[in-house]
Amino acid sequence: MGKYDPAPTFAAGLVRTARAKANMTQTELGNAAGIKQQAVSAYETGRIEPTLPTLQRLVAAAGFELRVRLEPLNDHDASVAELLESLPRHVQAQIEQEQRERVETARLRRVRGK
C-alpha cells in the first residue's frame, strides 16, 4: 500500500494521517502508544479495526486529540445522488469524468509536491 493510496477504513485513515503528520514511523507510534508495530500496520491497512479507546491512544501518541460528537443527520450526499440520477446519462458521464480528472490532478500535486 503506497503513501497516497486511499485508506480502506475511516480508522485506518485516521491512524495513517496522524502518524504522517507527526512524522513518525509505525514503530515510533507503536512505542509511544504501547502497541506493537505489527498492530499499527494492521490498523493502517484496515486488516484490523481498532477499538475507540485504542484509536484515541494512537492519535494521542501522535500528538493529536480525537474528538467524537453527534451532529444532526446531513442527507446532502443522498440529495446529490438523487439529483445526479435525474440527469441524462451523457451528463452523468461528463460529471463523473470531470470528477476523476480533479481527483487525478490532486493526486499528482501531492505526489509531485506542488
Identify the CA nearest to 111 among candidates 1, 8, 3, 14: 3
Q: How far apart are alpha carbons 5 and 45 in whole angstroms?
A: 10
Read off the pLDDT of residues 21-76 as tens digits, 9 standing for 90 and up. Answer: 999 999 999 999 999 999 999 999 999 999 999 999 999 999 999 998 898 888 88
DSSP state of 7: P
Query: Averaged over 3-10, what is the pLDDT?
Result: 73
Which residue's C-alpha cell is 495513517? 16
**Cβ-based neighbours of 24, under 8 Å, separated by 6 or more:** 32, 62
Is 60 exceeded by the pLDDT of residue 3? no
What pLDDT sits at residue 5?
A: 63
